[in-house]
Amino acid sequence: MLLRHTPKEVKEREGLTINPAKTCQPIGAMYAALGIHGCLPHSHGSQGCCSYHRSTLTRHYKEPVMAATSSFTEGASVFGGQANLLQSIETIFAVYDPDIIAVHSTCLSETIGDDLQQITKKASDDGKIPEGKYVIYASTPSFVGSHVTGYANMLTGIAEQFAQSTGEKKDQINIIAGWMEPSDMREIKRLSKELGVKIVLFPDTSDVLDAPQTGKHVFYPKGGTTVEELKSAGDSKCSLALGCISAEPAAIGLDKKCRVPFETVDMPIGLSATDRFIMSLSKAAGVEVPDEITAERGRLIDVMTDMEQYFYGKKVALFGDPDQLIPLTEFLLDLGMKPVHIVSGTPGMRFEKRMKEILQRIPGANFKNGLNADMFLLHQWMKNEPVDLLIGNTYGKYIARDENIPFIRFGFPILDRIGHSYFPNVGYTGSLRLIEKILGVLMDRQDREAPEEKFELVM
């Protein structure tokens, strides 16, 4: 057993987190900044932070992940990191020539109280930022929230520091993407195009973290939301924020700065959440939903009805990030499954409230988020009430193997499989893919473990 020391008996813990279902803010900030065209993320802290974040993102995407660091030493930690950041800005523009440097802080620079606004202003005053280039920033202390918070903070920084209001509204809608994969962002663009809605999607990591092999390394790949698009976001009719934790703060920031009204919807994962997304987008843009999208929906429902017997009543444990877990849990219920154990390390009352509503149909379901809501607890719950399926990031494979439970990789990080960069989980098509994966692991198990006389040809 790989997790042989995990006891069945659950004891309250206050000091020790074991096998976390979250990581820290800066990696989210780095990911968000990669979705801006020509942008180099910069980690204002010691080298390890940047190295760890780049390594984790690289393992997840199997793609180049470029980012720089302020390389704090003890001296900088005592005297402040201003000199390091100024030197970084100078070096980066000279050597790597980005359009934008997106600086995020770390627990180190936050603890010593470095003020990114003041330092970037000084860089600008000292003439260290070339004409037409930008240095933006976000405060992302690792001791607050989680990686999702860091994503939201950087995204808010991007919205607030770029968007401008010219006073003339444009016939376009902002879609503020919660933490999703390049494939999901590509799918959101496809669906919007299908609906005939002009959108500004930000961030957009498609064509950045799913770049083609061409024999050339393009330091700033062709994807990413452009500065022009970001500026114009202040003139958009409205914003749709996909996810209350990872996307909504940016929508609020944009509304405050440029008076762009917004609506927060769930990330379109599963049937019902995609329905709401399509409704909101068509309503906001004043367009009819075309037959092709109705047909896409129909194909999803068709499979749900065809295969309902394999889903019904199956118990599921899941862990990950709130904005994904909320619609995913709802989808599992739509499939007739029973999500009984759910944890997310990301704090927030919104998650608790939504989960309570959604899980009304499953009395006794366990869910917890925030401090000590970790995979150790999830595993203990599973020992007390076993499940038929586990859904979560790659770390779930240790539990799945020990407990012999079918397992689907979903969320961040996925370190041992490919696919998430290329095939979406959002929209009707993405949901169909999710169903295919769920059925695949459940049926593989049946095929593997059925007695010979009960081995089925047709399923």
According to CB under 8 A, which residues from 292 to 321 bind another protein? none
Minimum separation from the CB atom of position 9 to another protein (A)? 10
Which range of residues in 206-214, 266-274, 313-321, 427-435 is near another protein by CB under 8 A? Answer: 206-214
Classify 368 as helix, strand or coil: strand
Residue 381, by phi and psi: left (phi above 0), alpha (psi -120 to 50) or beta?
Answer: alpha
Name the minimum Å distance from CB 430 to another protein.
25
Q: What type of residue is 20?
A: P
Buried b (16+ CB within 10 A) or exposed e, 221-239: bebbbbbebbebbbbbbbb
Which residues share a beta bridge with 335? none
3-state SS of 250-319?
A: HHHHHHHHHCCCEEEECCCECHHHHHHHHHHHHHHHCCCCCHHHHHHHHHHHHHHHHCHHHHCCCEEEEE
DSSP bridge partners of 426:
269
Q: What's the closest the beta carbon of residue 125 comes to another protein, in angstroms?
A: 19
Tell me how far apart the alpha carbons of residues 303 and 428 are, in angstroms, rounded to a whole number.
11
Binding flags for another protein, 128-167, as an x/- string (CB under 8 A): -------------xxxx-xx--------------------
14 binds another protein (CB under 8 A): yes
216 binds another protein, rule: CB under 8 A: yes
CB of 205 to another protein, least distance (A): 15
Q: How many CB atoms lie within 10 A of CB 143?
A: 9
**In the set 8, 55, 283, 357, which binds another protein (CB under 8 A)?**
55
**Which 336-375 positions form the footprint of another protein (CB under 8 A)?**
345, 371-372
The DSSP code sequence of 42-78 is EEES-HHHHHHHHHHHHHHHSS----EE----HHHHH
Nearer to another protein, 65 or 278 (CB): 65
Only segment of 16-24, 183-191, 266-274, 299-307 that touches another protein (CB under 8 A): 16-24
207 sits near another protein (criterion: CB under 8 A) = no
Using CB under 8 A, pick the residue from 177, 199, 208, 211 that binds another protein.
211
Which residues inside 64-93 make contact with another protein, applying CB under 8 A? 64-77, 84-85, 87-92
Cα dihedral: 292, 296, 298, 304 (round 10):
180
32 lies in the site for another protein, by CB under 8 A: no
95 binds another protein (CB under 8 A): yes
Segment interacting with another protein, rule: CB under 8 A, options 172-180, 214-222, 276-284, 429-437: 214-222
